[in-house]
Amino acid sequence: MRIKDILSPESMIMELKATNKEDAIKEMTDLEVATDIVNDEDAFIKSIWDRENESTTGIGGGIAMPHARNKSINKARVLFAKSKEGIDYNSLDGQPVHLFFMITAPAGADNTHLQALAKLSGLLIDPDLVEKLKATKTPEEVIDLFEKAEAKKDEEDKKAAEAKKAKEAAKAEGKNDDDDNKPLIVGVTACINGIAHTYMAQEALIKEGKKRGIEVRIETNGSEGVKDKLTPDEIKRAKGVIIASDKKVDMPRFDGKPLVNHPVVDGINKPGELIADIMDGKADVYHASASDKSEESSSSTEKPGVWAGIYKNLMNGISHMLPFVIGGGILMAISFIVENYGGGAKTPAFIFLNNAGNLAFAFMVPVLSAYIAESIGDLPALMPGFVGGYMASIANGQFQVNVQAHATSPAGFLGGIAAGFIAGYLMVGLKKAFANLPHSVEGMKPMLFYPILGLLFIAAIMFYIINPIFSGINFAITHFLNSMGTGNLVLLTTILAGMMSIDMGGPFNKAAYVFASGAFANDPHSTTAAILMAAVMVGGMVPPFATAIGTTFFKNKYTVEERRAGVSNWVLGFSFITEGAIPFAAADPGHVIPSCIIGSAVGGALVGLWHVGVPAPHGGLWVSPLAGNIGGPMHILYYFLATIIGSIIAGLIMSFWKKNVKEDPNE
C-alpha cells in the first residue's frame, strides 16, 4: 500500500480556523466524522486526549501527530491540517504547531495500512519536506509531495538492501568490508500506539548516524510487532545501545553494554545527543539486574512514578493468573450444578470437575506471585516467586508441608502479592551483589547462586515473617468471633459477610468461613448455624457479582482484560466462588476491597434481619432451594435479594469511585 492510499483530499484542512489545541482537535475530529473515518466522536476525542495526557504529540519543529487506534475508527487514514499562524499545542520545544497529522487506525488494521502509516511518519523527519508542506496551498500539492518523497525513500531503501546483500555475500566469501570498521550503535524505538513516533525515532537516529559516519541499527516495537530485530552479533559488536521507548522492551540481552534510556520523542528530537552520549563514553553500563530501574529511571523528564512501576509488575502477575481463575472457577461452578442436581457429591462427574477446578485454583496465587517477581527480577526471580506464592496459598501441614512457624491458615492472595514483590526485589539485590564476580563464574550465577539463595531467602521470609503475621491475624479474628457468640445475630452476620470480602481467601475470609462452617458442622440442624452459613455465602458472592455488574454497565471504568474477566464472574458469583474478584482486588485494592466489604456487609445484615438460613456449606445460589427448608418459600427470594442488593451496592460504589481507564489502543 502506498502513502497516497491513506491520504485523501477530503481529509485535509488547508487552513485551520482553530486558535487553540482543544478547538484544533475538535475541528479535525469533526471532519473525521463527516468523512466516515470515525464512528463515535466522543470516544475518539477521549482516546486522543488520553494519548495527549500521557505525553504531548506535539513533537517539535512545528509538527503535531495526534493519533489513535481503536474500535471508534472505521478506516486507516491520515488527516492533514495546516495553521498559518500556528497553534500553541504544548509541544516539546515550546513552539507553535503549523502542520497537523491526525493518524487513525481501526483496531483491526492490517499490516499494509500500518506499513504505510509507518512510512509516512518516517518521511516527516526530512526538514526539506516539512518546509515544502508548510508552503502548500492545495490538497493535491500535499499528496504530490508525499508521493515524490516516498519514491525517493523507496529508491534509497532498495539501494541499502542491495548493499546489505552484497556485504553479506562478501562476508560469506571471507572478504572484509569497510563498514566493518565503522562504529556500530544499536537501539530500540517504541511508542504506546506504535503508529508514528516509533518509526520517526528510528529514521531520525539512522539519519543522524549517517551524518556522523556511524552505522546505526534500530529495532522497532510498533503496531506490526517487532521489526528489524537486532541479532546477538550486532548487539555484541555495538559500541552502545539507545533505547527510545515509552513502553517495556526486551532489556536483558543488552547486559554489559553502555546504554541510554529515553522517551521515544528524544529519539526524534535529540538523536545527536543520544548518539553523542554513546560515542563520548557518557552512557552508563547496563546490567540486567537493574532492568526495571533503568526503565523507570531514565534521564527523561517523563519518569513513571512509583505506583506506575508497582502497577506494571502487579498486572504482569494478574494477566498470567486470570486463566487459572476463569478456567478453574467455571469448572467448579459446573461441579456444583452436578452436585446439587445430578446425583450429589459422590458422582464421578462432580468429583472430576471439582478436582479439576481446585487444581487450577491451587496454582492461582503461586502464578500471581511468580509473575510479579518475574516482572521485577526477570527469569531468575520466577522460581522464588512461585515458591513464595505457594507458601502463601496453603495451610500449615497441608500436603505434609510446613509453610509457617505457628499457623494453620494460609496467607491468601495478599500474602501472595507480598511474596511476589519480595522475591522480585530479592533477586534484584542478589544480582547487584554478584555483579562484580569474576567473568569465569558468570555461568554459575543463574544455575547455582540465584536459585539456591533465592529459594533460601524467600522460604525464610515467608516461614518466619509473612505467614506468621497472617496467622496471627487469623488467630485474633477467630478469637474475636468466638467471643461474640450468636446473641446479636444481625451484627454477627454483618461482620461475617463483610469479612468474606476483605482478603477473598486470606485470614479474614477463612476465619469467617471456618467460624460459620464450624457452627454448622457442630449442629447441622441449627437454624442459627444455617443463618451464619447463608451470611458467609452472600458475603462471598458479592465481590464477583459486583465486578460483573461494574464491567457490564460501567465499561469505561474497566480495562478490556477486566471486562472479559467480568463476564465469567456472573457464573462464579452464582456459585459462591469469591476468587473471581481477586484479579480486580489485586489491581485496584483501594477501590475494589472497601466497596465489596460494604456490599457484603449489607447483604449479611439483610440475611440476619430476615433470618435467612441455608443448611449447606457451599453452593451459592445453586443451593437456594434449601433456604425454603428453614423459613419457607419466601426465604428463597430473601436469599436472592440479600445477594442482589449487596452486589448492586458494591458494584455501584466501586464503579462510581473508580476513575475512567485509558482506552486500550488495540481494541
Mind telling me the catalytic residues?
A: 67, 191
Q: Nine-digit cell at 461?
A: 521470609
3-state SS record for 182-205? CCEEEEEEECCCCCCHHHHHHHHH
What b/e readout covers 427-444, taking b as 16+ CB neighbours within 10 angstroms? bbebbeebeeeeeeeeee
| DSSP secondary structure string for all residues of 592-652 | HHHHHHHHHHHHHHHHHHHT-----SS-GGGGGGGHHHHH-HHHHHHHHHHHHHHHHHHHH
Residues 6 or more apart whose CB falls under 8 angstroms from that of 476 comprise none
**Strands lying side by side in the sheet with 258-262:** 225-227, 215-222, 184-190, 240-245, 258-262, 284-285
Q: Nine-digit cell at 354?
A: 471439582
CB atoms within 10 A of CB 459: 15
CA distance 255 to 237: 13
Q: Counting beta carbons within 10 angstroms of the beta carbon of residue 36, is it exposed (0 to 12), middle (13 to 18) or buried (19 or more)?
A: exposed
CB atoms within 10 A of CB 103: 22
Q: Is the dihedral of CA 587, 576, 556, 562 positive or negative?
A: positive
Closest CA to 549 of 532, 562, 537, 534: 562
Torsion of CA 10, 15, 21, 22, to 10 degrees: -60
3-state SS record for 469-510? HHHHHHHHHHHHHHHHCCCCHHHHHHHHHHHCCCCCCCHHHH
CA distance 413 to 424: 16
Whose grid coordinates read 479535525? 28
